[in-house]
Amino acid sequence: MEQAFERDGAAEGVASEAADALADDELAAEDAELPEDRFADRELSWLAFNERVLELAEDPDLPLLERCRFAAIFASNLDEFFMVRVAGLKRRIATGIAVTAASGLTPRQVLEAISVRAHELMERHASLYRDELVPALEEQGIAFAHWEGLGQQEQDRLHKYFRRQIFPVLTPLAVDPAHPFPYISGLSLNLAVVVRNPTTEKEHFARVKVPQSLPRFVVVESVGADGDLDPLAPVRLIALEELIAAHLHYLFPGMEVVEHHTFRVTRNEDLEVEEDDAENLLKALEKELLRRRFGPPVRLELAPDMSPLVRRLLIRELGVVEAEVYQLPAPLDLTGLNVVADLDRPDLQYPRFAGRTPRALAEVESASPTDFFAALRERDILLHHPYDSFSTSVQQFLAQAAADPNVLAIKQTLYRTSGNSPIIDALIDAAQAGKQVLAIVEIKARFDEQANISWARKLERAGVHVVYGIVGLKTHCKLSLVVRQEAGGLRRYCHVGTGNYNPKTARLYEDLGLLTCNPDVGQDLTRLFNQLSGYAPKSRFHRLLVAPRSIRSSLVERIEREIEHHRAGKEAWIHLKVNSIVDEQTIDALYRASQAGVPVGIVVRGICAVKAGVPGLSENITVRSILGRFLEHSRIYSFANGGDPEYFIGSADLMHRNLDRRVEVLVRLTDPDHIAFLGHLMEVQLADTTSSWHLEHDDGEQAWVRHSRDEEGELLLDVQSWLIARRSGRPGASGVAGRSGR
C-alpha cells in the first residue's frame, strides 16, 4: 500500500553534490556520537505545552475575558490528552505491548510522571480561577453567584426557570439491589446524591447527570427595588449544577437530601478500527463510535467536600485507582469558562479583527466579483490566514469554480470541516451542475468522525464521488484541484494549504496556503489525486514532497546538504515551523547539523522532543514557542541552500503519524516575494525581541521560559498583533526589519 507513494521526481531529490558528500567516509566519520538521553519525552512535553497555555490564562497583561478563554482551552486540552494519550498508554500497558519511549522512560514511569504533573497543573488551574479570575471578574461587574446569596425574587425567577427549562430534562438514577450503578458517560458533570428515607432512616445513593445540552452557567436576572429587571446591574452567573442542587427535593420527593457532591469522569475515547480491503470502513467506524461511549475511565475528578463513603463508592464502582483521582475545588469542568469569555464585553476582549481580501485578488479589475482564474494566470498567491480572509479567498475560489460553466472537474480533500459548510455546498453545487467532483473524505479525523460520516453521505447523495483514502493511511493533506477548459486547452488551478477547509477555524487558526495555476503543481496534484482514488504507484512529483514515502527522507537529505554547505563555506541554516516535532530520525539529523555548526531555528507550538542548547549536542539549535490569540498551525520548512533559499509549506508535522501513517504534502515555493515574506516571518518569530517561550538548558534540565518583556520591563513584540497591524495597513506595522515580503 505504501509503495503507492514511491519516492521520485525533482522535488524529492537534492543536488548531486549532497549525495556525493554523504558517501564521503572521511566526512561521515566526523559526526559525533549522539547521547542516549537526547530526546525529551513526548507526553511530558505535551504537558509543558499545556502549561504554556495556562501561563497565558495567568498573564495580567492579557484582556480578562481572553484569560478566561485560555483557562477554558487549558481544561479542554487536558480532557483530550487524558481521553487519547493517557488512555492509549494505559491500554498498551494492560495488553503488554507497551515499549520504552525514545526518552528512555518506561510506560509506567511516563504514566507516573504524567500523574504528578497533571495533579500540579490542575490544582494550579483551579487556584487561578478561584484566586485571580473570579476576583478580577467581580471588579469588572461579572460575578459568580451562589444560591444562598441570592435574594428571594432572584431565587423565585430561577425556580421558574428550573421548573420550565431544566427539570424536564433531568433523570435521577438510584443505586440499590434493583438498580445497579449507572454508566457514567465521559466528560459528563454529575451530582452524587445521598438521600434518606424518613420512614426507614435508610440512606440511598443516586446520580443526577448535569445536562450537557443546557448552558454551563445560567444568568441571574437582577431585580431592582421596584421589582423590575435592572438592565444596568452587573452580570451574575450561577453554575448549572448548583442550580440543580438547590432543587434536588423536586427530584426525590418524600426523601431527605443528606449530601450532594459534583464529580466528573474522563474515559478512553480513542478509536480502534481494523481496516482491510473487504471491510466497509464507514460501517466499521460507526460501530466503533458506539463503543467509544463505553471506554474505561482514566480520570475521576471530585469535589473536595465529598464524604469518604461516597468517595470510596465512586472509586470502587468506576474502577479507578487513587492516582487517577483528582480532588479539585468547585466548579469542576472549567471548559465552561468559554461561556464567560463569549460575554458581550469588547472592553475585556481582544480588539475585533476580520481578515481582508488578499491584495492580489482585490486588485483584479472587473465589474463583477474578482475573477480568480484571471488573477492566478497573472501570479501565484500566497495566503496567510486569518490575516487574509479565508471566505474571500479559498472559499470564494471553490464557489467560483462550482459556478463556472468552463470548469469540468473539482477534486478536493476534506479532513475537518464545519457544520453548514460552504465548501460542502460548493462541491454539491458543482456535482449537480454536471461537473466531475471527487472528495477525499477522511472519516477517521479524531473527534470529527461522526460529522465526517454525515458529510460523506450528503456528498454521495448529491452525486459527488466520495473516496475514503487509502487503507492504513489517514489523508491529512489539504488540496484542491480545479480543471478548467480554456482557449488554449485544459488548465489546472490548485490550492495547497496547511490548514483544514473549515471556515470557522480559519478565523482562529494561523495557516498558509498557495493558490496557483503552475503546470508542475497542477500535474503533481493530478497524479496525487489519482493515487488517492485509484492506482498510480509510479507517480513522479515536481514540486511536492509526499508522505509516507518521501517527506522524511527528503528533509533529512536537505539537512545533510546544509551540513555540507557549511563545511564548504557556503550560506547554511535551517528554519522550521511546526506544530510538533517528535520524529527521532529528523531530530538526529538536526543534532548532527548543530554539531557541525549549522544554525537551526525551530518554532514549535506543541510537543517538542528536541533538547536545545545541550553542550556538544545542540548549542546551535534555537527553539521558540509562540502562543496567542490565534492558534499557530502553519508548517514551514526552509533551508539556506547555499544562498538560494528553499521553502516548503504543507500539512505535515515532524511526527511518526504524519510521516509514516498519513498522506501528507509539502509544496515548494518558487515566487521570490513569497520566499522573502516567509523568510522575514521566520526571522521575526525567532528573534529575541519577539514575545515567545524559549526552550532553555540549565544544569542538565530543559525548561520552557517565557520572554514577554525586555530588560527595561517593556513588552516585547507580539507577532500576531504585528501581523494584524501590518495587514490592516496601520502606521508602525512594518515591524522588525520592516521588509514587505509580499
Percentages of the chain per state (helix, strand, coil), in multiples of 5: 40, 25, 40
What is the DSSP track for 211-268? Answer: PTTS-SEEEE--B-TTSSB-TTSPEEEEEHHHHHHTTHHHHSTTSEEEEEEEEEEEE-
Helices assigned H by DSSP within 206-325: 240-245, 248-251, 281-292, 308-318
Q: Exactly one of 476, 565, 575, 680 is catalytic; which is it?
A: 476
d(CA 740, CA 561): 29
**Radius of gyration for the alpha carbons in the chain, expressed in angstroms and rounded:** 28
247 is catalytic: no
According to DSSP, the residues that pair with 10 across neighbouring strands are none
How far lies 474's CA from each of 465, 662, 666, 703, in Å? 18, 5, 16, 33
Amino acid at 39: F
Strand partners, 301: 264, 326
HSE-CB at 435 with a 13 A cutoff on CA atoms is: 27
Nearest to 452 by CA among 493, 489, 423: 423
CB of 436 closer than 8 Å to CB of 473: no
3-state class (DSSP) for residue 214: coil
Cell of 497: 494549504
- DSSP per-residue string spanning 665-695: EEEE---HHHHHHHHHHHHHHHSTTB-EEEE
Neighbour-count burial of 673, counting CB atoms closer than 10 A to its CB (0-12 exposed, 13-18 middle, 19+ buried): middle
- Give the separation between CA 688 and CA 684, rounded to whole angstroms: 9
Query: Omega of the bond prior to 331 within 30 degrees of 0, cis?
Result: yes
Q: Which residues, other chains included, contact 643 with Cβ-Cβ below 8 Å and sequence gap of 6+?
A: 570, 571
CB 53 within 8 A of CB 73: yes
Which residue type occupies 237? L
Of 557, 620, 628, 565, nearest in space to 594 by CA: 620
Q: Which amino acid does the sequence have at 312? A: R
**Residue bearing cell 459568580:** 144
Cell numbers that stand for 202 in this block = 435508610
Contact 123, 130 (CB under 8 A): no
SS3 403: helix
Residues 6+ apart with CB under 8 A from 421: 455, 501, 502, 503
Q: Helix, strand or coil for residue 163? A: helix
User: What are the Cα distances from residue 262, in Å, to 206, 333, 487, 625?
Assistant: 12, 10, 69, 36
The answer to whether residues 192 and 160 touch, using CB atoms and an 8 Å cutoff, is: no
Beta strands in 56-210 (DSSP E): 142-144, 172-175, 189-196, 203-210
User: What amino acid occupies position 316?
Assistant: R
In SS3 terms, 515-533 reads as: EECCHHHHHHHHHHHHHHH
Residues annotated as part of the active site? 476
